Amino acid sequence: MKRGEGSTKRVFHYLRAINAENIKEWKIELTYKPDFIRQFIEPFVYLFPYLLYGYALLGGRYSEHLKDMTGIGDMVAYTFIGYLFIGFLNTACWAMGFSLRKEQWYGTLETIFVAPVPRWVYVAGMALHSTCHQGLIMLIQAVVITTFFAIVLKMGGLFPALALVLLMLLGLYGLGIIVAGLTIALKQWWVVSEALSTLIVVVTPIAYPLAVLPIVLRKASMFLPTTYGIMGVRHFMLGEQLAVSLPTIFLRLAIIMVVWLTFGMATFLIMDRYGRKKGSLSVY
Partner 1 sequence: MIDNGAITVEGIYKVFKKGRSDEVRAVDGISFDIKKGELFGLLGPNGAGKTTLIKCISTLLIPDSGAVRVAGYDIYREPLEVRRHIGVLTGGERSLYWKLNPVENLRYFAALYGVPRKHVGDRIDYLLELMGLTEKAGARVEKLSSGMKQKLSIARVLVHDPPILLVDEPTLGLDPYFARFIRDFVKNELNRKQGKTILLTTHYMDEADELCGRIAFMNRGRIEAMDTPVRLKRSMPQKQVLEIKCQGAIEKEIFDRVPDAAGINITHSDGFVYVRINTDNPEMILSSMIELIQQKTKIFSVRVTAPTLEDVFVDLTGASLRNGK
CB of 12 to partner 1, least distance (A): 9
CB 120 within 8 A of CB 177: yes
Say whether residue 110 binds partner 1 (CB under 8 A). yes
Say whether residue 36 binds partner 1 (CB under 8 A). no
Query: How long a stretch of residues is the chain?
Result: 284
Q: Which of 44, 50, 113, 263 binds partner 1 (CB under 8 A)?
A: 113
Say whether residue 27 binds partner 1 (CB under 8 A). yes
CB of 100 to partner 1, least distance (A): 13
Question: Based on CB atoms, which residue is closest to partner 1, 119 or 234?
Answer: 119
Question: Based on CB atoms, which residue is closest to partner 1, 198 or 282?
Answer: 282
Using the rule CB under 8 A, give the single segment among 8-16, 127-135, 181-189, 225-233 that binds partner 1. 8-16
Say whether residue 28 binds partner 1 (CB under 8 A). yes
Question: Based on CB atoms, which residue is closest to partner 1, 3 or 65?
Answer: 3
Site size for partner 1, by CB under 8 A? 34
CB of 128 to partner 1, least distance (A): 13
Q: Which of 40, 46, 111, 162 binds partner 1 (CB under 8 A)?
A: 111
CB of 229 to partner 1, least distance (A): 31
Q: Which of 19, 39, 146, 267 binds partner 1 (CB under 8 A)?
A: 19
Say whether residue 262 binds partner 1 (CB under 8 A). no
CB of 3 to partner 1, least distance (A): 7
